[in-house]
Amino acid sequence: LQRGLEDTIRPRYRMRVIVQAVDNNVETGPRTGQNRETFTFNVVPYEELLAEMNKDEEVLAYKSQELSDKMIDIRNAIDKMIERMPRDEGSDEFRASASRMDEVLAELEKGSDLTRELLSDCARLLKEAQANRLPANFVDNKEKITNLLDEAIRSHFERAREAHTVLRDALQSR
């Protein structure tokens, strides 16, 4: 029984690293320098690493769902606004619609900020997966997600922001 327990519980290690450098100064002779702080690494079993990364992924999945729901709400708000759009130019309803578009733009900015957070967290998980030499499919999956989030920030949110601004300006001018 004792042997079986030792096989299932794997040790954790703490590794401290101090960086020291030596230059090749030929005039005054080589000098040695050492950084003032030590770097501490926790070395954990593979299964524990995966468990911790899975916890992080659960949080990311929740945030992603929250972001998706917000973007759907924005789209529904715009659809409702278009349905209720007055037909006669100069109507006071245009002012209310333009005001609502300002609110929609603010929600879009919040969505963009949340996407940046997701990108940062995914990039951290990707680097961790690469540094720990996790399976290629795991790393590839993280790269795909990171690239999609980066594209959303650089392209999709920017185009949406421009389109919303044009619509708001058109509503204000009417």
Structure tokens at 162: 């421009």
Q: What is the mean pLDDT of the chain?
A: 84
Quickly tell me which residue has 């989030």 as its tokens.
149
Q: What separation in angstroms does the CA of 103 have from each of 1, 85, 110, 156, 164?
A: 64, 16, 11, 19, 11
Q: Is the pLDDT higher at 169 or at 89?
A: 169
Four-residue CA torsion sign, 116, 122, 125, 131: negative
Q: What is the DSSP letter of 106?
A: H
User: What mean pLDDT do residues 117-122 have?
Assistant: 94
What is the model's pLDDT at position 7?
Answer: 60
33 contacts 59 by C-beta, under 8 angstroms = no
Q: Is the model's pLDDT at 4 over the cut of 60? A: no
Give the Cα separation of 1 and 60 in Å (integer).
Answer: 40
Quickly tell me which residue has 């690293």 as its tokens.
17
Q: Maximum Cα–Cα distance for the chain, whole Å?
A: 86
18 contacts 83 by C-beta, under 8 angstroms = no
63 contacts 118 by C-beta, under 8 angstroms = yes
Ramachandran bin of 40, using left for φ above 0, alpha for ψ from -120 to 50, beta for the remaining angles: beta
- Indicate the pLDDT class of residue 61, thresholds 50, 70 and 90: very high
Give the Cα separation of 168 and 78 in Å (integer).
Answer: 11
What is the model's pLDDT at position 16?
Answer: 92
Give the Cα separation of 169 and 140 in Å (integer).
Answer: 42
Q: Please state, for a pLDDT cut of 90, what percent of the chain lies above it.
A: 33
pLDDT 10s digits, 63-98: 999 999 988 988 888 888 777 776 666 666 666 666
What is the model's pLDDT at position 104?
Answer: 82
What is the model's pLDDT at position 26?
Answer: 82
Residues 6+ apart with CB under 8 A from 40: 14, 15, 16, 17
* pTM of full prediction above 0.75: no
What is the model's pLDDT at position 1?
Answer: 46
What is the model's pLDDT at position 100?
Answer: 78
Q: Please state, for a pLDDT cut of 70, what percent of the chain lies above it.
A: 86
